[in-house]
Chain A
Amino acid sequence: MSEAEDRRRFAIDGREPREVVFPETAEQVAEMLRIAGEKGLTVTPVGRGAFLHLGGMPRRYDLALSLQRLDRIVDYQPTDMTVTVEAGMALARLQEMLGENSQWLPIDPPSPEQATIGGVIAANLSGPVRLSQGTIRDFLIGLKVVQADGTVIKGGGRVVKNVAGYDLPKLYCGSFGTLGVIVEATFKVRPRPEAQAVLSLTFPSAAQAMELALRLLGSELQFSFLELANFDPLEEEGKAGTYRLVVGFAGITEEVAYQCARIRELSESGEPTIAEWQEGNELTLVQVLRDFPVAGEAMLRCKASLLPTRVATFCQDLEEEAGSRGLAVRLLARAGNGIVYSRFLPSTDVSPEKLLSLVDWLRILAKKLEGYVVIEAIDPALKERLDVWGHVGGAFPLMKRLKETLDPQGILNPGRFVGGI
């Protein structure tokens, strides 16, 4: 690939880096950071460039430091159920290797072929199974990081339980490459479930769907995931006004069968309508749910964090508001976690002002519901005019001090994180 192509590939919001470098070892990463520090260049750590739409606009973008060549397994002990891997390895490849021992790292963020381990950690990427498994922070037990000045440090270790020293790995989860360059990570892994099933339940409204969802979440059922969508995930153009709960079960064959039977019992009362997917077909559906935050065309993508009890109101209000503004919106909620992804379909007659006022409206709604809205993707010309992260709260002075302590020159990924960090 030519240098020009590399620069294009790692462009952020239309802005290309001055140079792209591909170190092959942690030592080379350290060396590059030292040189960058001396020359006063900014460094943006990237993987394969699949999630560069996330985060604020770069204040400066000198060096894109791609970890994609650090893609080796450092240590894998299947019987210890731990794996140490370099940051540039694609998640899908790691899963493939773990799969040979019927194990997996139980996270399912979008585009696993493109998502690198370092990227998943730095952007705190997650997917539907966060409901049952948690997010990357729950599996990360050790981390090796190159600091802004080129010093290599580590936190945690290689054992599954460890409270020696501060829990540094947590700090780097979701830190957006602003505190250091992640070069290696150790995870605890889990056995792969032997069976899986997916069912979809259709409701006339979000409120009815969530009423049942919350009831089921308090029952004995152990959902692998539980998603709320305002469209048919297999058809894209869902019937307007209908909501679906898509529920997944995973585990021992007998458990899965029992839980599917419990869900089927619900349809005997007539409401809701239930469809089942099995034997391969369910994989397509799971992929649609997983990839939703990045799939298809959109003029605006948002992620809301809410209490699960507020999800229905948020979805309904948002859908109505979008309708009244003549916009089409697809909503997918990780309902048990209160995370709602919204994707506004492209429309030619939407002025920038109209879109910005929609973002304002969204933020007001989220605030009213005691939640947050982060803008995940929007046209760069508009991004310049808003803060994608929104309100950061009383802990911001601590965050700023932390950033200044670990990156005193401010060379790591400037401008992309909360409050302009």
Chain B
Amino acid sequence: MDTTLISHLRDIVGLDGVVTQPTALSVYECDGYTLEKAIPEVVVLPRSAAEVAAIVKLLHSKKIAFVPRGAGTGLSGGCLPVEAPVMIGTSRMNRIVHIDLLNRYVIAQAGVVNLWVSNAVKNQGFQYAPDPSSQQACTIGGNVAENSGGPHTLKYGVTTNHVLGLEIVLPDGEIVTLGGTVEDVPGYDLRGITIGAEGTFGIVTQATLRLTRQPQAYRTFLAVFESVHEATQSVSDIIAAGIVPAALEMMDNLIIQAVEAAFHFGFPTDAGAVLIVELDGLAAGLDPQTAKIMQVCQQNHAREVRVARDDAERVALWKSRKRAFGAVGRLAPNYCTQDGVVPRTKVPEILRVITTVAEKYHLRIANVFHAGDGNIHPILLYDERNADETERVVKAGQEILQACVDLGGSLTGEHGIGVEKMGQMPLIFSPEDLLVMSQIRSVFNPDNLCNPHKIIPTPHGCIDVRTPRRQVPL
């Protein structure tokens, strides 16, 4: 990398804001999607939108490509630097700028950790509703890029339903506000299209987030079933009964065992599957819904339905669920998580497909997912030292995604396309659909300098050729 450029970058962010040491850079070689890796040539850590703008202006003038990065907890390689030598990290932009409880919003810089927002307002009875499993680490900027979800999005919606406005540095260095603090700002909803654009429109530096009142009461159940089928049927029946719980999650036997070994919550390790069902809202309304849910579970032969006794038990239960991915390390050296979506009623069917695929490819596949949304997370276990097994994982993954699409679903519910699923985009989008997407990207990012080679496949899959450390051809 050009040393003058490095020194210009240092002028902007200070000596400690530019990382060039190879050992330090290797930290940035991938995000939570570890099948592909690429090391940036330099990482820059600005503290403000003005610094981001200055960096981007400099890079734009030299036509150097760059990628934004938050905490690196993404699961589709969204911040992998593919042919982008410069990485711009938001970790030092970690200030909550403004809290307005009367108008129920918070302005947070991009590097603020998701959970910090809720923590900052919880004593006043408020919360920031989107709660991805990585919420103790993932950043608001990353959440905006990925349009992140989480267990409680069944009732509360995903990131886009809770963002009023964005401050973004466009790929030419201009700072622009999209949306605002008030609702119905005149003009196109550029905030809406930017959320979920996976950082390909520019670098979001600040977001105005809607706060939600904490519910008065919770009722959290753990329903234990002999089989996955009975659990998923209960999910369909709960929804059909006209109940929209705050969360409706399923874990199968493999996951139960791993989670229990890791956190000792007291999950029955011989159960075929468990459902975590959470109701929230006014205490007055919870009893009638509880009765209905109990009835549905019993009709589906639940072995047991446990209700969390107190808040501590509820918190422990969620901690186990949200750290399930971490516990998977006990099952295999490597794993690959998928994020397909099917219509809610097709959950039993897709789980049958997953079982068949696992048998066909001689793989172990664990399941922990947002059952109420139809958003599956099969975890394919493997050992990357076993090349044959790794290849089978890739094939099995593709087969599961194809099945999701065939059942009327989608490739990804909350993890994003990134580099991981680019190749599968044509399964759900026509060439015309993809063309419009690339045209819209060009409106924001005409030279494709910001986070290139993501989301929209190009005719000659550039990834394959150009990332030498890539381990699996996808």
Query: Which residue numbers of A lie inside 8 Å of B, CB to CB?
Result: 77-82, 102-103, 124, 126, 134-135, 137-138, 147, 151-155, 157-168, 170-171, 173-175, 179, 190-192, 214, 217-220, 222, 251-255, 257-259, 303, 305-309, 337-339, 370-372, 374, 389-396, 398-399, 401-402, 405-406, 418
Whole-angstrom distance between the Cβ of B346 and the nearest chain A Cβ: 8
A308 to B105, CA, bound (A): 11
Distance in angstroms from A97 CB to nearest chain B CB is: 16
Residue B433 CB within 8 A of the other chain: yes
Residues of chain B within 8 A (CB-CB) of A135 are 183-184
User: Which of B190, B430, B436, B440 gathers most chain A CB within 10 Å?
Assistant: B436
- Give Cα distance in the complex from A232 to B209, angstroms: 35
Decide yes or no whether B443 CB sits under 8 A from chain A. yes
B7-15, B145-153, B296-304 - the one binding chain A: B145-153
Min CB–CB distance B58 → chain A (angstroms): 21
Say whether B413 contacts A394, CB under 8 Å.
no
Given A80-B343, A399-B187, A405-B439, A159 and B408 contact (CB-CB distance below 8 Å)? yes
CB-based nearest A residue for B179: A395
Q: What's the minimum C-beta distance from B220 to chain A, rounded to whole angstroms?
A: 18
- Which chain B residues lie closer than 8 Å to A175 at the CB level? 188-189
Establish whether residues A165 and B433, one from each chain, have CB atoms under 8 Å apart when the complex forms. yes
Contact for B186 among A79, A168, A418, CB less than 8 A: A418
Binds A, one of B45-53, B236-244, B259-267: B236-244
Chain B window 163-205, contacts with chain A (Cβ cutoff 8 Å), 1 for yes, 0 for no: 0000000100000111001111111111011011100000000
B433 touches A153 (CB 8 A): yes
Number of interface residues of B (CB under 8 A): 88
24 contacts between A and B (CB under 8 A): A81-B344, A137-B160, A153-B433, A154-B429, A163-B414, A163-B416, A168-B193, A170-B195, A171-B188, A171-B193, A174-B184, A191-B244, A217-B213, A218-B125, A222-B213, A222-B281, A254-B288, A337-B183, A372-B184, A392-B187, A394-B176, A394-B177, A395-B177, A399-B188
B177 touches A406 (CB 8 A): no
CB within 8 A of B243: which of A79, A191, A374? A191
The answer, yes or no, to whether B310 is at the interface (CB within 8 Å) is: no
Complex Cα distance, B412 from A126, in Å, reads: 29
**Which of B181, B196, B240, B244 contacts A166, CB < 8 Å?**
B196
With an 8 A cutoff between CB atoms, is B329 at the interface? no
B187–A395 touching, CB < 8 Å: yes
| Chain B nearest CB, measured from A263 CB (Å) | 13
Instruction: Point out which of A135, A162, A257 has the most chain B C-beta atoms below 10 A from its C-beta.
Output: A162
Q: Cβ of B410 < 8 Å from any Cβ of A? A: yes
Write out the residue numbers on chain B whose beta carbons fall within 8 Å of the beta carbon of A174.
184, 188-189
Contacting residue for A157 out of B182, B190, B410, B432, CB 8 A: B410
Docked complex Cα distance between A153 and B282 (Å): 43
List B residues at the A interface (Cβ < 8 Å).
100-104, 124-126, 146-147, 149, 153, 157-158, 160-161, 170, 176-178, 181-190, 192-193, 195-197, 213, 215-216, 236, 239-240, 242-244, 281-282, 284-285, 287-289, 341-345, 370, 373-375, 408-417, 421, 425, 428-430, 432-434, 436-437, 439-444, 455-456
B192 contacts A167, CB within 8 Å? yes
B213 x A218 contact (CB < 8 A): yes
Given contacts A165-B433, A166-B193, A402-B188, contact A214 B102 (CB under 8 A): yes
**Which residue from A103, A155, A306, A392 sits with its C-beta under 8 Å from B433?**
A155
Q: With a CB–CB cut-off of 8 A, which chain A residues contact B342?
A: 159
| A309 surroundings in chain B (CB, below 8 A) | 102-103
Contact of B344 among A79, A124, A170 (CB under 8 A): A79
The minimal Cβ–Cβ distance linking B130 to chain A, given in whole angstroms, is: 12
CB distance B196 to A163 under 8 Å? Answer: yes
Q: Quick check: A166 and B284 within 8 Å, CB to CB?
A: no
Minimum Cβ distance to chain A for residue B200 (Å): 9
Chain A neighbourhood of B183, CB < 8 A: 135, 305, 337-339
